[in-house]
Amino acid sequence: IAGPLGSALSTRFGARPVAMAGGFLSGLGLFLGAFATHMTHLYLSVGLLAGLGWALVFTPSLGTVGRYFPAQRALATGLVVSGASISGLALGPLVPLLLDTYGWRGALLLLAAISFNLVAAGALLRPLPVPGETPGPPRDRPGLMRLLRQGPFIRYALAFVLVDAGYYVPFVHGEARAHEVGCDEHHAGLVMAAMAAVDGGGRVAAGWLATRPATPLLRHLFAWAVLTGLVLLLLPLGTSFGGLLALASAYGFCAGAVVPLQFAGVAEVVGAGRLVHAIGLMQMFESFGSLLGPPFAGWLRDMTGNYTISFLAAGAFLLAGSLLILTLPGFFHASQGAGGKEGSPALAPTGPETPCRSALEPA
């Protein structure tokens, strides 16, 4: 929900200080959580403070990468967001080990130490000069409220509210589904690990494929979103360890492929100059879908006694969101695609907003 705040602050002060402040807040939230004596303390520290810090890191960082590499935006985004898969694979076995060895307070202190490294990572976000811009606060860049009045952006955001309502269901309930079909703890963990591992591969592969000029980026995004929804509809057919492992791996790859194209697609819809603002608003809208989907799936499981309807409903959400992508202006006619510097011409900002290539690439 704090995504728009990250956008506004990074536009005003630059991505580097905002990301560094976010890294400090995320580490501080985890650190204070280690001293909690009541659940309310954890809501305020790990939930509110660390969550705010992550929003201040994610939005400026992703928006900056999108402007660093205008000609390879989808691939650069795919490489960046694949880091989440790597950390997920690392923390999966690490956190239980920390809990067993140091307890939950010690584990939070060590995770806080890891999170404080975001300050150093944020310091590496190089502020690049933009030709024609005057020093000081931006004056003519479109704000958050202007984006809220743009029909294409609202449809794009609504599409991913629906997509996220189904997207996270296998990641949240996949282990329970594995137990439901008779898997033990070890095999259930393998299913989840395989899904996370191929998720990272899907992110990089989709980013690379989207740099091919033959097909507009939004069509790539639509195809991967549809494939993700269809595989999710098939997940109930995995009634053995082997079948569930194969379907979960296919879902992880397709779901991972959606992520970089989703954020690169924002520039296609609103223009590269509004990318940071749009990513912040996208985060806020998506949070409602991601908060709705897994509890709704859990409620359906309680009502029906198994996860079949839960996964079918999640797949339906994904397919419904993908259909909204068809309504976007750049879908049925050729746009500049992932290599375009401004995205949809009708929504491109006035004035130079994209860093010059000479500032980005060494001689």
pLDDT tens, position by position, 45-69: 999 999 999 999 988 888 888 778 8
Q: Which residues contact 131 (CB under 8 A, 6 or more apart)?
A: 352, 356
Residue 124 has pLDDT above 80, yes or no: yes
At residue 35, the 3 state secondary structure works out as coil
Question: Is the dihedral angle over the CA atoms 36, 37, 41, 47 positive or is it negative?
Answer: positive
Name which of 10-24, 189-203, 342-356 the model is least confident about: 342-356
Name which of 24-38, 138-152, 208-222, 313-327 the model is least confident about: 138-152
Question: What is the model's pLDDT at position 94?
Answer: 86
CB 208 within 8 A of CB 78: yes
Residue 92 has pLDDT above 70, yes or no: yes
Residue ranges and CATH numbers for the domains of the chain are: 2-123+142-326 (1.20.1250.20)
| pLDDT band, residue 87 (cuts 50/70/90) | confident
Q: Which residues contact 240 (CB under 8 A, 6 or more apart)?
A: 181, 182
Rg, the chain, Cα only: 21
Question: What is the model's pLDDT at position 119?
Answer: 96
Q: What is the DSSP letter of 47?
A: I
HSE-CB for 12 with a 13 A CA cutoff? 10
CA 244/CA 228 separation, integer angstroms: 15
| pLDDT band, residue 333 (cuts 50/70/90) | low
Residue with tokens 């939070």: 108
Strands (E), 227-329: none
Question: What is the model's pLDDT at position 31?
Answer: 97
Q: What is the DSSP letter of 346?
A: G
**Residue of 341 and 37 predicted with greater confidence:** 37
Question: What is the model's pLDDT at position 46?
Answer: 95
CA 73/CA 66 separation, integer angstroms: 5
CA of residue 200 relative to chain centroid, distance: 12
CB 27 within 8 A of CB 308: no
Across residues 118-146, what is the average pLDDT?
Answer: 67
Name which of 92-101, 125-134, 166-175, 221-230 the model is least confident about: 125-134
Question: What is the model's pLDDT at position 121?
Answer: 93
Report for 67-76, 280-289, 297-306: range of highest mean pLDDT: 297-306
Across residues 143-152, what is the average pLDDT?
Answer: 82
